[in-house]
């Protein structure tokens, strides 16, 4: 049962509506979110019939339900993002668009308050019959969040009325004495708390607590339904669901003072952050369950690390801070925010990562939209909220959690304090805060000392203050503050080299680079086209340098490193070690990768070249331009000079003819000048167990003899072996074009990982 509401924890976040950025970094991201991301989301919601579903459900249009059964949630998330934008920029076009959509939501809402276009249009008799799978309560939760944001930003209650009508209906169906059941995808819990905060209707808080205590019935890890929440100690299952759940649990714990929930949160927090989180703050390594596996399982190239999960980590971290008032939670929030979350969206604001790997052979690229559009719509609603994470207060203390130039108005009990931050974060560790309390008063100013800041300088009105952070990780100054008081804080932003716990085996022998809150990576385009063959010795001096014209202005790290020389192995099995080649590297912030031409990327860098991936000795093939009868995957992968680990290497960029099956197909290399060729080596791709590619039924080589395709003469065996090169020698030809012709097996396709010519 619910305990009575306590005032034990009085930390309040300063709402986003009270914070106006004046900096470069966030101001431009929020503006791009408004002009690009939001515009794209508006368009996609219309074009994919997500809005038409509401029109049809409301009798304003005709047609059938279109799309995925939880598509309503995307529309609500876009509305929430738009509403947050309106808080600082009352853009009339956005406001009109929202008014029009809200009218459609109202039309689609049933007389009893129910609102879900899928059920209304497709299975009107099946409401609430499949809570674990069908996401009705998840969609409802996103409606509530959108409604609260819209009300707070505009003062209009048009959407809030729809939300409370639906919430009242849900409250009449579920709860003690009513229907029970566990929603498969959490969201309703935290959303009901928001609805409670804006309406003061305690039934909503009670219902949130009810849903949390329903969990533990099905035994399913996937949706954290394996044991009751109060008994949970480890993070399991789907990462986004887990984050939304624990954000809701922390909310309820904050209002109820429920000690069991506090303890449960603390156990799970330790499990995630000490054993299951990427250095980017990304979580959920596995694509299989879109979530968690075993401790220290943190593969880099196949990292799932969904953009939504990083956003969820920020949501939960912030609530953990509000429970405990300790800086460690904001450290994680900042780590996820500036790395694994921001990487989810392109600098231009209109392409998105669903997964956020820490290593790539060049096969990962952001996309404008996804059939399941959770990530773009989470980005569009999150970015304009970021100001809401900067400050918190109690009646007697003002907490500064994040740094960037901004103007904020903080209410502390009866008192108002204007605070003016000047900073060049995240590029520099210096920040100046000017305080303007409405009357001179004693209060405590708490400045978060980030965990990465090993040294800190602090001045009050120009005088050096010698204090160290308190046990909560904050630099605490208590005095009678006067208007115009100035605090300057300077956090040391040296380049740090990070190593991982040896149990995180994917990172053994490697280090990562961090400066301030930013994790760095090497990208091929800055590093002569390849990074997998680079090692960074531990003692290599690295310099930080601001590059105003690169990637919208970033601090890069530069210095000497070693590149493994690609040896000509020929037929040799062993070789004397050759010396490394010295090279200059440029590392960029991880969040900014894949905004230029595609190529390799790595966050974790080997300390020695022995751990690098050698490039193959360039063959004649690398000078050719590839073309093919049909392409799935990357044509260029066939000649990228990267040695696969095996024919089943899923992380390796690949060229395939999928979904052609049983047909004759070809891949061709065209050269600018005639070249002499007498040997060809092919590494076949095979995805048995995953897909439909196997080696072909048969294959042969043809060369272009003055416009006539002719098979090469006296070829050795055309091999079909897996896990190695199939080399064919033949009478030399001099030609500008050579091609592989394949006969695909019946009902199967083919592909190749690498093709060499000599
Ligand atoms: Zn997502």
What pLDDT shows up at residue 313? 98
Cβ distance 667 to 627 under 8 Å?
Answer: yes
Compute CA 732 distance to the chain's CA centroid, rounded to the nearest angstrom.
51
Residue 645: phi and psi, rounded to 5, are: -75, -30
User: Distance, CA 317 to ligand 1 centroid (Å)?
Assistant: 18
Cis amide bond preceding 426, omega within 30 = yes
What pLDDT shows up at residue 1? 32
What pLDDT shows up at residue 157? 97
User: Distance, CA 311 to ligand 1 centroid (Å)?
Assistant: 9
User: Distance, CA 40 to ligand 1 centroid (Å)?
Assistant: 16
User: Distance, CA 310 to ligand 1 centroid (Å)?
Assistant: 9
- Would you please indicate which residues are annotated as catalytic (active-site) residues? 290, 374
By the 10 Å C-beta count (0-12 exposed, 13-18 middle, 19+ buried), 92 is classed as: exposed
Closest residue by Cα to residue 647 from 752, 745, 518, 531: 752
User: Distance, CA 307 to ligand 1 centroid (Å)?
Assistant: 6
User: Distance, CA 29 to ligand 1 centroid (Å)?
Assistant: 19
Residue 101: phi and psi, rounded to 5, are: -65, -40
Compute the distance between CA of residue 308 and CA of residue 138 in angstroms, rounded to an integer.
14
User: Distance, CA 384 to ligand 1 centroid (Å)?
Assistant: 17
User: Distance, CA 326 to ligand 1 centroid (Å)?
Assistant: 28
User: Distance, CA 70 to ligand 1 centroid (Å)?
Assistant: 13
What pLDDT shows up at residue 598? 84
Q: Under DSSP, is residue 659 helix (H, G, I), strand (E, B) or coil? A: coil
Compute the distance between CA of residue 590 and CA of residue 12 in angstroms, rounded to an integer.
32
User: Distance, CA 377 to ligand 1 centroid (Å)?
Assistant: 8
User: Distance, CA 68 to ligand 1 centroid (Å)?
Assistant: 14
What pLDDT shows up at residue 332? 98
User: Distance, CA 379 to ligand 1 centroid (Å)?
Assistant: 9
User: Distance, CA 380 to ligand 1 centroid (Å)?
Assistant: 12
User: Distance, CA 308 to ligand 1 centroid (Å)?
Assistant: 4
Other Cβ atoms less than 10 A from the Cβ of 42: the count is 22
What pLDDT shows up at residue 7? 39
User: Distance, CA 15 to ligand 1 centroid (Å)?
Assistant: 25
Closest residue by Cα to residue 519 from 305, 362, 336, 310: 336
For the chain (length 758 residues), average pLDDT per consecutive 10? 43 95 96 96 96 97 95 97 93 96 98 97 95 95 98 96 98 94 94 97 97 93 94 96 97 94 95 97 95 96 96 98 96 98 98 96 90 95 97 96 98 94 97 95 96 96 95 96 97 97 96 98 95 94 97 98 82 83 97 94 95 82 91 87 86 89 95 93 92 95 94 94 93 95 95 93
Compute the distance between CA of residue 494 and CA of residue 428 in angstroms, rounded to an integer.
10
The DSSP-derived string for 124-163 is TT-TTS-HHHH-HHHHHHHHHHHHHHHHHHH---HHHHHH
What pLDDT shows up at residue 742? 96
User: Distance, CA 306 to ligand 1 centroid (Å)?
Assistant: 6
Segment holding 505, helix H or strand E: none
Closest residue by Cα to residue 524 from 594, 589, 582: 594
User: Distance, CA 614 to ligand 1 centroid (Å)?
Assistant: 35
Closest residue by Cα to residue 756 from 634, 653, 624, 620: 620
Closest residue by Cα to residue 249 from 241, 93, 644, 151: 241
User: Distance, CA 345 to ligand 1 centroid (Å)?
Assistant: 12
Cβ distance 304 to 353 under 8 Å?
Answer: no
User: Distance, CA 127 to ligand 1 centroid (Å)?
Assistant: 25
The DSSP-derived string for 362-389 is S----BS--SS-HHHHHHHHHGGGGGGG
What pLDDT shows up at residue 3? 34
Compute the distance between CA of residue 26 and CA of residue 37 in angstroms, rounded to an integer.
15
Compute the distance between CA of residue 739 and CA of residue 668 in angstroms, rounded to an integer.
4
User: Distance, CA 378 to ligand 1 centroid (Å)?
Assistant: 7
pTM value surpassing 0.75 = yes
User: Distance, CA 354 to ligand 1 centroid (Å)?
Assistant: 6
User: Distance, CA 457 to ligand 1 centroid (Å)?
Assistant: 40
Compute the distance between CA of residue 636 and CA of residue 624 in angstroms, rounded to an integer.
10
What pLDDT shows up at residue 6? 38
């Amino acid at each position: 049962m619910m305990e009575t509401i306590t005032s034990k924890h009085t930390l309040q976040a300063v709402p986003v509506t009270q914070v106006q950025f004046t900096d470069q970094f966030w101001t431009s991201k929020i503006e791009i979110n408004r002009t690009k991301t939001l515009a794209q989301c508006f368009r996609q919601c219309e074009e994919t019939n997500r809005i038409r579903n509401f029109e049809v459900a409301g009798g304003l249009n005709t047609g059938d339900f279109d799309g995925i059964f939880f598509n309503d949630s995307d529309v609500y998330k876009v509305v929430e993002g738009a509403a947050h934008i309106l808080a600082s920029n009352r853009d009339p076009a956005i406001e009109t668009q929202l008014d029009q959509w809200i009218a459609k939501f109202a039309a689609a809402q049933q007389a009893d308050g129910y609102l879900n276009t899928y059920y209304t249009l497709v299975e009107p008799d099946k409401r609430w019959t499949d809570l674990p799978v069908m996401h009705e309560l998840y969609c409802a939760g996103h409606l509530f969040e959108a409604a609260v944001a819209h009300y707070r930003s505009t003062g209009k209650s048009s959407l809030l009325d729809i939300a409370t009508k639906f919430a009242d209906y849900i409250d009449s169906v579920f709860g003690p004495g009513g229907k029970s059941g566990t929603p498969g995808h959490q969201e309703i819990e935290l959303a009901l708390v928001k609805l409670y905060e804006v309406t003061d209707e305690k039934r909503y808080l009670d219902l949130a607590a009810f849903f949390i205590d329903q969990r533990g019935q099905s035994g399913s890890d996937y949706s954290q339904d394996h044991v009751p929440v109060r008994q949970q100690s480890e993070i399991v299952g789907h990462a986004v669901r887990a984050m939304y759940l624990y954000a809701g649990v922390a909310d309820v714990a904050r209002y109820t003072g429920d000690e069991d929930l506090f303890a449960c949160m603390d156990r799970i927090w330790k499990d995630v952050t000490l054993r299951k989180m990427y250095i980017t703050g990304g979580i959920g390594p596995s694509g299989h369950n879109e979530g968690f596996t075993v401790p220290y399982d943190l593969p880099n190239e196949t990292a799932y690390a969904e953009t939504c999960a990083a956003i969820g980590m920020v949501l939960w971290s912030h609530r953990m801070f509000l429970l405990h008032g300790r800086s460690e939670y904001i450290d994680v929030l900042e780590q996820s925010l500036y790395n694994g979350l921001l990487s989810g969206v392109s600098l231009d604001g209109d392409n998105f990562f669903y997964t956020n790997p820490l290593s790539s052979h060049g096969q990962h690229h952001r996309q404008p939209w996804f059939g399941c559009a959770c990530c773009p719509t989470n980005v569009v609603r999150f970015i304009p909220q970021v100001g809401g994470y900067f400050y918190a207060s109690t009646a007697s203390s003002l907490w500064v959690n994040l740094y960037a130039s901004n103007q904020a108005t903080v209410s502390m009990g009866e008192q108002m304090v204007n605070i003016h931050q000047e900073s060049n974060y995240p590029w520099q560790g210096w920040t100046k805060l000017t305080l303007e309390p409405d009357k001179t008063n004693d209060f405590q100013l708490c400045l978060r000392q980030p965990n990465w800041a090993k040294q800190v300088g602090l001045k009050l009105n120009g005088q050096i203050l010698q204090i160290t952070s308190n046990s909560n990780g904050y630099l605490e100054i208590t005095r009678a503050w006067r208007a115009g008081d100035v605090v300057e804080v300077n956090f040391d932003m040296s380049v740090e080299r990070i190593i991982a716990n040896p149990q995180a085996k994917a990172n053994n022998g490697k280090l990562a680079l961090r400066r301030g809150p930013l994790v760095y990576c090497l990208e091929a385009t800055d590093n002569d086209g390849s990074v997998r063959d680079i090692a960074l010795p531990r003692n290599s001096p690295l310099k930080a340098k601001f590059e105003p014209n690169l990637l919208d202005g970033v601090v890069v790290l530069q210095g000497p490193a070693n590149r493994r020389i690609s040896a000509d192995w020929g037929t040799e099995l062993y070789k004397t070690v050759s010396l490394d080649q010295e090279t200059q590297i440029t590392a960029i912030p991880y969040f900014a990768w894949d905004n230029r031409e595609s190529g390799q990327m790595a966050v974790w860098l080997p300390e020695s070249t022995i751990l690098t991936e050698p490039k193959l000795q360039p063959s004649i093939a690398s000078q050719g331009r590839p073309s093919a009868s049909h392409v799935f995957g990357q044509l260029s992968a066939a000649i990228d000079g990267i040695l696969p680990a095996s024919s089943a290497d899923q992380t390796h960029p690949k060229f395939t003819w999928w979904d052609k099956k049983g047909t004759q197909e070809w891949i061709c290399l065209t050269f600018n000048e005639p070249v002499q060729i007498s040997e060809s080596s092919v590494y076949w791709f095979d995805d048995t167990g995953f897909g439909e590619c196997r080696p072909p039924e048969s294959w042969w080589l043809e060369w272009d003899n003055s416009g006539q395709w002719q098979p090469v003469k006296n070829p050795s065996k055309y091999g079909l072996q897996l896990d190695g090169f199939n080399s064919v020698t033949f009478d030399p030809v001099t030609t500008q074009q050579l091609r592989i012709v394949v006969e695909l097996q019946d009902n199967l396709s083919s592909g190749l990982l690498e093709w060499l010519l000599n």
